[in-house]
Amino acid sequence: MTLPLPFGPAGLDPAEVWSVSDLNQAARGLLEQNMPPVWVRGEVTSFKSYASGHWYFTLQDGTAQVRCVMWRTWVQRAKSKPEEGAEVHVFGTPGLWEEKGEFRFTATALLRSDQLGQQQQQLEATRAALTRDGLLDPARKRPLPRYASTLAVVTSLEGAALHDIITVARSRWPAVRILVIGARVQGADAVPELVRALRTVNRLDADVCIVGRGGGAREDLSAFNDEKVCRALAAVTIPTISAVGHESDISLCDLVADVRAATPSNAAELAVADQREVRAAVDGLALRLAGGLSRRTRLLSERLARTADRLEAGMEGAVRLQRHRLERIGAQLDALSPLRVLDRGFAVPMTLDGRVLRRRGEFTPGLRYRLRVRDGDVPSRVEEGR
């Protein structure tokens, strides 16, 4: 007896059939897009180091295991080969090896768990020493220059960090001068090279120093937790910005530097002013400068106008006073005028040639004279035979 298939080959659309490659590729994509890099703890077994430099091994705990690969680039950065059965911490990304359809963990860092404990202890000891010497004291922090024109950058000449810093700094301020002091940021040479590079910074004429690297596994940041590097950073005479790893990683250098940037790009943003903003600020000052002067001249012209008003008012007052006095004198003069007396009905006898006749004896009989009254002269004569 044969069972009927839900869909027979006859009803199948060939376009809907996946190849094995399609399947594995899709599964790999799902894994890689949805699983972030993680630390995994386990026991190493089936370890193989190939001539190509790659390591292959299995990580296991009591109930599960996973195949791991560590490519040569990362192997070179690992401190030592793990022994069979050793417990290790491995940092990496889960994925799928398509050719074999095998779930696989691609490691980028490997640390023996006992060393991890040592590293942690070392880190705490260094932090304590730096704290004791006041190098982590927030009061030490210097402000960054407002408009840095020369930037000293201590980082690897090969890393993405340098590229990011240069790109961001130039986009903000094209005329910024960038001096790169190359130093390896991981591996055995990292500490002496970083120390030397940081010392070189003090011989340069720069305004601000960025020290950093892009993100990596925690082990790769170890140079930035080194006491010698931290002390060299603290001894840099210009303000410093650390940009070590991604935002979630904090190194001791981050604590020693004047400012901690989240990423190398962020460090460049903090170090270099945005030219457009500065231009706008300068334009604003230009407007205020012109406004300030016109305000000053306006105040002066207003004051001048007020003074003129007061002067005029003063002059008017003086003239009025004089006029008043004049009027008074006029009135006095008027009162004294003989004509006023005539108004009141008096008359003045005068000789024909205008001399006032004051005494009786002057009126000789028959004398012709003028009698001056208010509105004119009256011809008169002294009677005869008086």
Nearest to 258 by CA among 134, 99, 144: 144
- Minimum separation from the CB atom of position 150 to another protein (A): 6
Tell me if 296 contacts another protein by CB under 8 A.
yes
Measured from the CB atom, the residue of 39 and 147 that comes closer to another protein is: 147
- Beta bridge pairs of residue 152: 179, 209
Q: What angle do CA 181, 183, 184 make, to 5 degrees?
A: 160
Tell me if 203 contacts another protein by CB under 8 A.
yes
Tell me if 235 contacts another protein by CB under 8 A.
no
Rounded to an integer, what distance in angstroms lies between the CA atom of residue 107 and that of residue 92?
4
Instruction: State which of residues 141, 170, 218, 231 lies at the interface with another protein (CB under 8 A).
Output: 170
Tell me if 149 contacts another protein by CB under 8 A.
yes
Tell me if 133 contacts another protein by CB under 8 A.
no
The three-state secondary structure class of 345 is coil
Tell me if 163 contacts another protein by CB under 8 A.
yes
- Minimum separation from the CB atom of position 184 to another protein (A): 13
Instruction: State which of residues 125, 289, 321, 378 lies at the interface with another protein (CB under 8 A).
Output: 289
The three-state secondary structure class of 7 is coil
Phi-psi region of 385 (alpha: psi -120 to 50; beta: other; left: phi over 0): left
Cα separations in angstroms, 383 against 287, 348, 363: 103, 18, 9
DSSP 8-state secondary structure symbol assigned to residue 181: E
One-letter identity of residue 258: D
Contact 246, 147 (CB under 8 A): no
- Minimum separation from the CB atom of position 214 to another protein (A): 16
Which tokens hold the place of 141? 């922090």
Tell me if 145 contacts another protein by CB under 8 A.
yes
- Interface mask (CB under 8 A) for another protein, residues 58-87, using x and -? ------------------------------
Instruction: State which of residues 282, 354, 361, 386 lies at the interface with another protein (CB under 8 A).
Output: 282
Which tokens hold the place of 192? 């002496």
Q: Which long-range contacts (CB under 8 A, 24 or more apart) does 99-102 make?
A: 101/20, 101/24, 102/67
Instruction: State which of residues 75, 123, 136, 166 lies at the interface with another protein (CB under 8 A).
Output: 166
Rounded to an integer, what distance in angstroms lies between the CA atom of residue 312 and that of residue 309?
5
| Listed ranges 13-21, 41-49, 126-134, 196-204: which one lies at the site for another protein (CB under 8 A) | 196-204
Restricted to residues 299-358, the positions that interact with another protein (CB under 8 A) are: 300
Q: Which helix (H) or strand (E) holds 161?
A: helix 160-172
Measured from the CB atom, the residue of 76 and 167 that comes closer to another protein is: 167
Cα-flanking dihedrals φ and ψ of residue 290, to 5°?
Answer: -60, -45
Tell me if 298 contacts another protein by CB under 8 A.
no
Instruction: State which of residues 31, 66, 180, 357 lies at the interface with another protein (CB under 8 A).
Output: 180
The three-state secondary structure class of 58 is strand
- Minimum separation from the CB atom of position 321 to another protein (A): 34
Rounded to an integer, what distance in angstroms lies between the CA atom of residue 284 and that of residue 233?
38
Q: Is 66 exposed, middle or buried (0-12, 13-18, 19+ CB in 10 A)?
A: middle
Restricted to residues 351-380, the positions that interact with another protein (CB under 8 A) are: none
Measured from the CB atom, the residue of 100 and 199 that comes closer to another protein is: 199
Instruction: State which of residues 157, 308, 315, 319 lies at the interface with another protein (CB under 8 A).
Output: 157
Q: Which helix (H) or strand (E) holds 326?
A: helix 275-336
- Minimum separation from the CB atom of position 131 to another protein (A): 31
| Listed ranges 85-93, 119-127, 235-243, 278-286: which one lies at the site for another protein (CB under 8 A) | 278-286
Instruction: State which of residues 181, 190, 223, 259 lies at the interface with another protein (CB under 8 A).
Output: 181
C-alpha 384: how far from its chain's center? Answer: 124
Residues that bind another protein (CB under 8 A): 145-147, 149-150, 157, 163, 166, 170, 174-182, 196, 200, 203-205, 207, 275, 278-279, 281-282, 285-286, 288-289, 291-293, 295-297, 300
